[in-house]
Amino acid sequence: MIYLCEALASLKNSKEAAKLLSDLLSPQECQMIAKRLRIAKLLVEGKSYEDIKTALRVSYSTIARVNTWLNLSGEGYKIVIKRMGERGERKIEDPQDLYDPLSWRNIKRRYTLYFWPQLLIEELFRESDRRHQKKLIKILQRMETKSRTLKDISKDIYDSYKHFGRKNQV
């Protein structure tokens, strides 16, 4: 248990934590732990069992179990809830997507050789400041315009020569 705690404490950010947890736990286990943390947060905020059940799609027994842990020895829950409240909560588009091995996001990460240009651009964009992000957007827009122009030219050339090929066949 101490080794696991030391491993978790050594992580620098939530991305590293997500990678470790997805290696250690099954997708269902990760999802259940995340739901338990959300249940604890909502209970501390004073939400009713019914509201929590509807929002998170969990059973009353799961909510009651988290509530019991929270009331008896919930120091860990309380520390995490307090610190997450101080940092503010980031919205993830689809939390299930983080742990689903068949999600498009995880397929791209698993087969990086196929998607490396896109992944590289996404990482550059993520790590850039606003000024550099604007520059990247302009560059990508120019690339898209050039690509469309090239496709149009190619289509025009094809259209002009496809009639030529038919005349020779007759």
Contact (CB, 8 A) for 42 and 79 = no
Contact (CB, 8 A) for 136 and 124 = yes
Task: Tell which wins on pLDDT, 156 or 134.
Answer: 134
Whether the pLDDT of residue 85 is over 70: the answer is yes
pLDDT tens digits along 126-141:
778 888 888 888 888 8
For 120, phi and psi rounded to 5 degrees? Answer: -65, -45
CA distance 85 to 97: 23
Q: Classify domain 14-110 at the CATH topology level.
A: Trp Operon Repressor; Chain A (1.10.1270)
Task: Tell which wins on pLDDT, 39 or 150.
Answer: 39
Whether the pLDDT of residue 58 is over 60: the answer is yes
Whether the pLDDT of residue 103 is over 60: the answer is yes
Whether the pLDDT of residue 93 is over 80: the answer is no
CA distance 76 to 6: 15
CA distance 136 to 141: 9
Contact (CB, 8 A) for 48 and 72 = no
Minimum mean pLDDT range among 61-65, 134-138, 151-155:
151-155
Q: Which two tokens stand for residue 99?
A: 């742990």
Residue 67 has a CB neighbour count (10 Å cut-off) of 16
pLDDT tens digits along 1-15:
788 888 888 988 888
pLDDT of 59? 92
Statement: the pTM of the whole predicted model exceeds 0.85: no
Residue in 33, 28, 48 with CA at minimum distance from that of residue 80: 33
Specify the domain boundaries for CATH 1.10.1270.10 within the chain: 14-110
The mean pLDDT of 72-86, rounded to a whole number, is 79
